[in-house]
């Protein structure tokens, strides 16, 4: 796995890495990296029209 320095969302360096090194979890904001892909939620914007 590539060496990680910080979370791409909150920039924390408190990352928890699984034993098999396939999953990384940020202990600050909960962002997960699984199989090389960061899973970051973005706010959803819903527009209503009358």
Bridge partner residues of 33 (DSSP): 24, 38
Residue 19 belongs to some domain of the structure: yes
Bridge partner residues of 37 (DSSP): 34
Task: Kindly state the tokens that stand for 49.
Answer: 């029209």
- Total domain count for the chain? 1
Residue 1 belongs to some domain of the structure: no
Residue 46 belongs to some domain of the structure: no
d(CA 16, CA 32): 10
Task: Give the pLDDT confidence score for residue 1 in this predicted structure.
Answer: 46
pLDDT tens per residue, the chain (50 residues)? Answer: 456 678 988 999 999 999 988 899 999 998 899 888 888 877 778 888 87
Longest alpha-carbon distance in the chain: 52
Task: Give the pLDDT confidence score for residue 3 in this predicted structure.
Answer: 62
Residue 8 belongs to some domain of the structure: no
Find the domain containing 20 and state its range: 14-41
Residue 30 belongs to some domain of the structure: yes
Owner of token pair 């899973």: 39
How much is the pTM?
Answer: 0.65
Residue 7 belongs to some domain of the structure: no
Task: Give the pLDDT confidence score for residue 46 in this predicted structure.
Answer: 82
d(CA 5, CA 30): 16
């Amino acid at each position: 796995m590539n060496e990680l320095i910080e979370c791409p969302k909150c920039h924390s360096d408190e990352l928890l890495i699984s034993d098999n090194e396939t999953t990384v979890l940020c202990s600050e904001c909960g962002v997960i990296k699984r199989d090389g892909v960061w899973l970051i939620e973005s706010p959803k914007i819903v527009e209503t029209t009358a």
